[in-house]
Amino acid sequence: MAKLDIVTYPDLLLTNKSEPILNITADTHKLIQDMADTMYSFAGVGLAAIQVGISQQVIIYDHLTQDNNKNFQAIINPEIIEQHGVQTSEKEGCLSLPDLRTDVKRFKTVSVKGLNAEGKPITIDAEGLLAVILQHEIEHLNGILLVDKISALKRNIYKRKTLKNLARG
């Protein structure tokens, strides 16, 4: 399929709330496959549609990728319906925030409901890395970024560094 461009911080598109998908179409299926190709090309474990410039509630993930065994999953209109416990996601990163790695407090377990690519209702009970990935990608759909999880001082330093790099072009 196609490798898409990743929207990077400080692009304001990333702060927008994504729209639910009301009808799953061939375009939806193409978007999902293109997102997977993009995620794998950047060695990511998750991707939200907003990160490729599409303001729709679609995420993909693959927390088990090993030896080129690609087995991504897609969730349309995902929503966290239950959450328990606390864990620290160490050195969490994001394709839209290059060069940022930070520890983030996340729920230890989550239950996520949504639709699969065929439009059938699904519920995923996740813990550990999968719980982190799902929380991270769903936050993207709500306009919440990893940079929002760090202190104001670190955020300002990262923003200045990013803007300086953009100015260099």
- When divided into structural domains, the chain yields a total of 1
Catalytic positions, please?
A: 137
* Domain with 62 in it: 12-168
Q: What is the mean pLDDT of residues 107-132?
A: 97
pLDDT of residue 165: 84
User: In CATH, what number is assigned to the domain containing residue 42?
Assistant: 3.90.45.10
6 lies in some domain? no
Phi, psi angle pair for 70, to nearest 5°: -90, 120
- CB–CB of 40/86 below 8 Å? no
Interacting residues of 84 by C-beta distance below 8 A, sequence separation 6+: 107, 108, 109, 110
Q: What is the mean pLDDT of residues 5-33?
A: 97
7 lies in some domain? no
2 lies in some domain? no
Task: Indicate the pTM of the whole model.
Answer: 0.93
For the chain, give the mean pLDDT: 94
Q: What is the mean pLDDT of residues 119-125?
A: 98
1 lies in some domain? no
4 lies in some domain? no
Write out pLDDT tens, residues 71-106: 899 999 999 999 999 999 999 999 999 889 999 999
Give dist(CA 51, CA 71) in Å, integer: 20
pLDDT of residue 65: 62
96 lies in some domain? yes
Write out pLDDT tens, residues 19-30: 999 999 999 999
Find the distance separating the first CA and the last CA of the chain, reported in whole Å. 29
3 lies in some domain? no
